Each structure stands twice: as C-alpha cells, then as structure tokens.
Amino acid sequence: MKHGVRLWIGLGLMAAAGSCAGRNLPPEPDSYVAADAIGAERAAELAASPAATWLDDLNSTEMSTLAREALAGSPDLQIVEARYRAARWRARGAFGGNLLPSLSVGVDGTRTEEPIAGSDARLRTEFMTSSVVASWEIDLWGRLASRALASDLSADAAEEDLNGARLSVAGQSAQAWVDLIEAQQLVALAQEDLETRERALDLTQRRYDAGIASSLALRTARSQVASARAIQAAAQDALLIASRRLQEVMGRYPDGALRAAGELPTLAALAAAGAPADLLERRPDVLAAENRMRAAGFRMHEARTAMLPRLTLRGTAGATGPALNRIDDSANMISNLIAGISMPIFQGGALLAESRATVADRRAAASDYVRATIAAWREVEGAISADQSLEVRETQFAIAADEAREAQELAEREYARGVATLFELIDAYTRRIDAERGLIQARAARVSNRITYHVALGGGARTGGIDEDRDLAP
C-alpha cells in the first residue's frame, strides 16, 4: 500500500510542476495592437521615452501628438519590439540552461505477449521503469558563462535596436507631418498661380477682342493656364501621397484624407551639440554596435575554451518492476553518481575553424562599431552645417518672395494700362511662384533638418545643445 501512495504522490508532484510551468507561459498576444488599444499605462510609457520627449522641443502640439500615435501604432515598430522580447527570453533561457544543473524524471512502461507452447493462451509480461537524472557541467574555463553573457549582450543590442526603431519612427512621423504641411502649402500656391494665370487670360482675351492684343499673346496666355492646371493636379497628387505616408507610419488606413491643421514651427539657431563622446552614450545604434562587439568577444572566448577539457557531474537513480506500485521503492532503486572529464580530440577541425571564425566576427563587430560611431558624428555635424545654409535660404527666399509679389502687382497694373507686354507679366508671375515655392520648401527643409538633428543626437537633446539632465533610460 505504501508503494502506491508514494507513486501517486510522485505523479501528483509531476502534474503540479507541469501545471506551474504552463501558468508561467506568457499569454498569446494579438498579431497587431492598434494605437488606441495599447492601454493608458503603455501609452504614457512611450510618450515619456527619449524617443518622444525631444518632439516637445519643436513646439508643435500637432506634430508631437501624431508622432506619439505613431509610436503606439506603428506596425514596423511592433515587429522590432516582438523580436527584442524574443531575444530577451532566449537570453534568459541560455543563462539558466548553461549555468544551472538540469534535473529530469520519467516513467516508462512496456508490455510483451508471447504464445505458450501447446496452448492457445499467451503469456503477458509488463515491465515498468522509473528514472531520475541530474547533471551539471562545472564551468572550469568560463565557457558557459561566456555563452550566457554573449546571449545577454545580444539581447541588450536588440533592446537598443528597439530604442533606435522608436526614435526612427518618431522622426519619420514628424518629417511626414512636415511633408504634409509643405504639400498643402504647395497646393494652395498652385491654386493661387492658376487663378492669376486665369486673370491674365481673361484680360488678354478682352484685349484681343478689342483688337489690342495679338493672337500670339492669346495663345500664350491659354498655354500658361493649361500648364498651371497641370501643376495644380500634380500638387494635389503629391498631397495625397504625403497624407498616405503619414497615415502609414501611424498605422492608420491610408485613405489620404488626413490634413495638418498646424503651422511649421519657428526655429531658433542651433547652439553647440555637446562633446562628441556624449553622443556615444545616446545613440541607440552605437550602443547596439558596442553590445554586439562585446558579445563577439565572449563568443570568441567560448570557442577557444570549447577545445579544453570539461568536467561534468551526473547522478542517476532508477527502479524497475512489473507494475507501477513497484517502481518507487527507494530501497530497490539503483543509483549512480559520476564525475567525468571529457576533452574533444578530433572533430574534423570544426572547433579550430569556429575559433578562427569568431576572431573574424570580433574584428567585424569592432569595425561596425567604429563605422556606426563615425556615421553618428557625421550626421550631427551635417545637420548643424545644413541648418546654417537652410537659414540663409529661408531668409533670402523670403526677401525674394516679397520683391516678386511687388513686381507682379506692378506688372499687372502696367499690363492693364498697355505699358507692359504679356511676356513681362508672365515673367513676373513665374518669378513670384518660384520665389514662394522656394520659401515653402526652404522652411520645410529647415524643420526637417532640425528633426534629423534631434534624431542624430539620439533624441536626448534640446535646441541649445545636449541636455545633460535628460533621463536616458528606455
């Protein structure tokens, strides 16, 4: 009786352990979570992250709101986040599986039937086996620790990839908003241009009917109106493209109906961006490259120590019997405790080749870190110098636009009095449109460059330079 009690207790413990493991599994998530379904706590976390806080420095409420929605609902961002979570769980599994002992229990059963000579009866034999196996490899040379640390650093690199993706999505949505405003302004400018060309055509038609204007002037005016309509159609199509692009980044349906209600922010001049070394602590791609370089170093150590002897402790216990209630008798169980040392002798050169390969991987990872660092510095320096030239462009195009408006008004008055020719009027129209189009594009380009500047600094910077008090935690 006591054997059966112990057996059922053991089976109950196995079932309980399996149940606990099942309860610890994470819930099955949705394939995609929309921005309005992530929850208030998650939305607040994203809004306060370094990927979003720099948005407020540009003083545009609409841009900040749309960018934060993109952080919550971007499908691309959720892909990167899911991959990071997977990498982190695998790193945890690698740590426990490599450094901690393993323990397993099992019950096996077999049944055989043999015919009895001289009879139709058959002899049935049941054979039950129980086993308990424990093993633990002593990490003599740090091989297992190096493997676990490499996995953990790879997960850290994936986390920085996530931070970089968040920063990129915030920058993409902010720039898409700027592109949308630029497209809206260009549509309005194209409409205004069409109206002025139509006024010129109407005036030319009246002068032609009165016998003052020539047929050449009339046909030229008609050509100008047709060209203006074509430019207006292209501007409207560009507006739909810009609207759909912003909706795509935000995770909305891209119907092209989204319009920006705000205006481009007024920018102050850039100050110093801080010491170059500060950038290395903020850029997610640089931090990811650094973690991968460190992980490559641990993998190199793991590959080298794989050729050294290994010490493994192994303990087993088992019992056999004809029935379930006979295989848990501790007095009859066979047990062994073994400490063994093994060393690879010949594997076709695989271990040596892997060791040399990890050296090359480490060199590549170090070079990638240098490349990412230089690229980060280049992007910041490029954004600073571009801001200076864009400021000049914006100022000069503003002057050109003001002068061109005055020139157009003068040309219209003189053409109406018959002093100026149609071609002089068309030239005035063209110069004004070109100047105003250049002003719109220069303003949008400067705001886009300021966004690039913040993204290049890793999101942790203000207009006047790096904010030393900004929390860099993800």
| Beta-bridge partner residues of 252 | none
Tokens matching residue 75: 């499908």
107 lies in a domain? no
Alpha carbon distance 98, 362 (integer Å): 22
Q: Is the pLDDT of residue 20 over 80?
A: no
Count Cβ atoms below 10 Å from residue 471 Cβ, excluding itself. Answer: 11
pLDDT of residue 190: 96
Q: What percent of the chain has pLDDT over 70?
A: 77
Count Cβ atoms below 10 Å from residue 449 Cβ, excluding itself. Answer: 23
Alpha carbon distance 78, 84 (integer Å): 10
Tokens matching residue 280: 């290395």
pLDDT of residue 323: 55
| Beta-bridge partner residues of 131 | 106, 318
pLDDT of residue 469: 44
pLDDT digits (tens, 9 = 90+) for 84-101: 999 998 888 887 777 778
pLDDT of residue 31: 53
Assign 3-class secondary structure to 41-96.
HHHHHHHCCHHHHHHHHHCCHHHHHHHHHHHHHCHHHHHHHHHHHHHHHHHHHHHH
Average pLDDT over the chain reads 81
Confidence bin at 257 (pLDDT 50/70/90): very high
More confident residue, 305 or 341: 305
pLDDT of residue 235: 96
Alpha carbon distance 334, 312 (integer Å): 20
pLDDT digits (tens, 9 = 90+) for 133-163: 778 878 888 888 898 899 999 999 999 999 8
Which of 17-39 are b and which e, b meaning 16 or more Cβ less than 10 Å from the residue's Cβ? eeeeeeeeeeeeeeeebebeebe
List the Cα angle 463/273/170 in 5-degree steps: 55
Alpha carbon distance 21, 15 (integer Å): 10
Instruction: State the average pLDDT over residues 344-351.
Output: 72
12 lies in a domain? no
CA atoms within 13 A on the CB side of 388: 7
449 lies in a domain? yes
pLDDT of residue 471: 41
Four-point Cα dihedral 77, 82, 87, 93, nearest 10: 160
Q: Where are the beta strands (DSSP E) in 167-290?
A: none
Confidence bin at 474 (pLDDT 50/70/90): very low
pLDDT digits (tens, 9 = 90+) for 53-71: 788 778 888 988 888 888 8
More confident residue, 103 or 282: 282
Q: Is the pLDDT of residue 1 over 60?
A: no
263 lies in a domain? yes
Could you tell me which residues come within 8 angstroms of residue 320 by beta carbon, excluding any fewer than 6 positions away?
A: 127, 128, 129, 130, 327
Q: Could you tell me the CATH number of the domain that includes residue 370?
A: 1.20.1600.10
Q: Which domain holds residue 435?
A: 48-73+142-307+352-466
284 lies in a domain? yes
pLDDT of residue 36: 53
87 lies in a domain? no
Alpha carbon distance 472, 446 (integer Å): 27
441 lies in a domain? yes
Tokens matching residue 435: 């100047």
Three-class secondary structure of residue 321 per DSSP: strand
Report the Cα 26 to chain-centroid distance in Å. Answer: 23
Alpha carbon distance 380, 299 (integer Å): 33
pLDDT of residue 369: 94
pLDDT of residue 160: 92
Lowest-confidence region among 1-15, 201-215, 369-383: 1-15
Alpha carbon distance 72, 75 (integer Å): 9
pLDDT of residue 463: 41
Q: What percent of the chain has pLDDT over 90?
A: 40
188 lies in a domain? yes
pLDDT of residue 457: 86
Instruction: Please state the domain count of the chain.
Output: 1
Assess contact for 139 and 312: CB atoms under 8 A. Answer: no
Alpha carbon distance 87, 328 (integer Å): 41
Lowest-confidence region among 186-200, 204-218, 308-322: 308-322
